[in-house]
Amino acid sequence: MLRAMLMWLAGNQRMERIVRGSRLTRPLIVRFIAGEDLDDALVQIRSILARRQTVTLDLLGENVATQEAAQAAADAYLGVLDRLHAENLDVNISIKLTMLGLDLDEDTTWERLRTIVGRAADMGGFVRIDMEGSPYTERTLALFRRIHDLHAEHVGIVLQSMLYRTETDLEEMIARKARVRIVKGAYQEPETIAYPRKADVDAAYRRHVERLLEAGTYPAIATHDEAMLDLVRGQVRSGRVTTDQFEFQMLYGVRRDLQQQLANEGYGMRVYVPYGTSWYPYFMRRLAERPANVFFLLRQLVRS
């Protein structure tokens, strides 16, 4: 119930104004968001790199309403790639296709995606296409297939274990040797297409992780769940997989202790670093995943 309410609030403009306008919520916001401009984000990136971790940089935004906004987002991402390359930083970004105009026109979205991935490929970089809510799953995968055919080494996809269809999608991605980031899923979905119980999502995630470790192409195991981390560690200890065959991924600001511990143990540890002014929907989804943060936020709002 709480998660459903927070997911609804992610699209509520009145709540967005309240959260944005409250000084007291700022400590929690900066915990999850690396800054509102690229310079701020790069400060955090250098700090992460100094701790022997890697990053993927995400300029926040989704569901743009005009072609002008979509083109501005594409241009901004090209600028991010150029800046990362010029400063000899890891050229690794994550993008959402609705930010590039998927709600408006698939052909122009494709042209923007092809330009961005092509620029990253020229730099030896990598672009991860984030997965959004279920209305976009098939359209996202369709565009991913096209761009993967052109730049297989430089583009990857995200799959969500909560969706029933992921069992089939995962096998397709394994067959085409695509790099998959596997997540549990952060969107509110109907029971007709997604597991309604957390235990079932966890079980699906476990199956998907084991399958990717067995047959995937450098999968990204994206989780903060210590039971899942222990599962992967066990696979390494048993000799079924080596640490150079996959990487862990975690969100900026979430379980920094675990991030550092994994890096210290010699695992590849990549941090998903979001920044930008369009942070509110992302922020609310992070609250939905961690109830303790909800109560902190509510206390601050009541005090304000």
Which residues does 240 contact at the CB level (< 8 Å), separation at least 6?
213, 214
Compute the chain's Rg from CA coordinates.
19
Q: At what angle do helices 67-86 and 106-122 cross, to 10 degrees?
A: 10
pLDDT tens for residues 114-131?
Answer: 999 999 999 999 999 999
Catalytic hit among 103, 130, 169, 202: 130
Residues 118 and 7 in one domain: no
Residues 25 and 117 in one domain: no
User: Are the CB atoms for 83 and 37 separated by under 8 Å?
Assistant: no
User: Are the CB atoms for 127 and 150 separated by under 8 Å?
Assistant: no
Name the β-bridge partners of 58: 94, 274
Count of the separate structural domains present in the chain: 2
**84 pLDDT exceeds 50?**
yes
Residues 26 and 127 in one domain: no
User: What is the band of 31 on the pLDDT scale with cuts at 50, 70, 90?
Assistant: confident
Residues 267 and 289 in one domain: no
Give Dmax over CA atoms of the chain in angstroms: 54
Catalytic hit among 119, 181, 270, 286: 181
CA atoms within 13 A on the CB side of 129: 33
- The Cα 151–Cα 140 span in angstroms is 16
- The Cα 138–Cα 275 span in angstroms is 27
Residues 26 and 59 in one domain: no
Residues 67 and 173 in one domain: yes
Residues 135 and 197 in one domain: yes
Q: Is 217 left (phi over 0), alpha (psi -120 to 50) or beta?
A: beta
Q: What angle do CA 198, 227, 191 make, to 5 degrees?
A: 15
pLDDT of residue 30: 75
**CATH number of the domain to which 224 belongs:** 3.20.20.220
Residues 67 and 29 in one domain: no
Q: What is the mean pLDDT of the chain?
A: 89
User: Are the CB atoms for 225 and 209 separated by under 8 Å?
Assistant: no
Burial call 141-156: b when 16+ CB within 10 Å, e when fewer: bebbeebbeebeebbb
Residues 11 and 141 in one domain: no
- pLDDT, greater one: 162 or 288: 162
**11 pLDDT exceeds 60?**
no
Residues 16 and 148 in one domain: no
Domain hosting residue 3, numbered range: 1-33+284-304
The CA–CA distances, whole Å, from 110 to 69, 102, 106, 136, 143 equal 15, 9, 6, 14, 7
Q: Could you confirm whether 256 is annotated as catalytic? A: no
Residues 44 and 27 in one domain: no
Q: Could you confirm whether 14 is annotated as catalytic? A: no
pLDDT tens for residues 143-194?
Answer: 999 999 999 999 999 999 999 999 999 999 999 999 999 999 978 899 999 9
- The Cα 126–Cα 157 span in angstroms is 11
Residues 149 and 194 in one domain: yes
Q: Which 3 state secondary structure label does DSSP give 195?
A: coil
Q: What angle do CA 97, 95, 254 make, to 5 degrees?
A: 130
Q: Which 3 state secondary structure label does DSSP give 254?
A: coil
pLDDT tens for residues 196-255?
Answer: 999 999 999 999 999 999 999 999 999 999 999 999 999 999 999 999 999 999 999 888
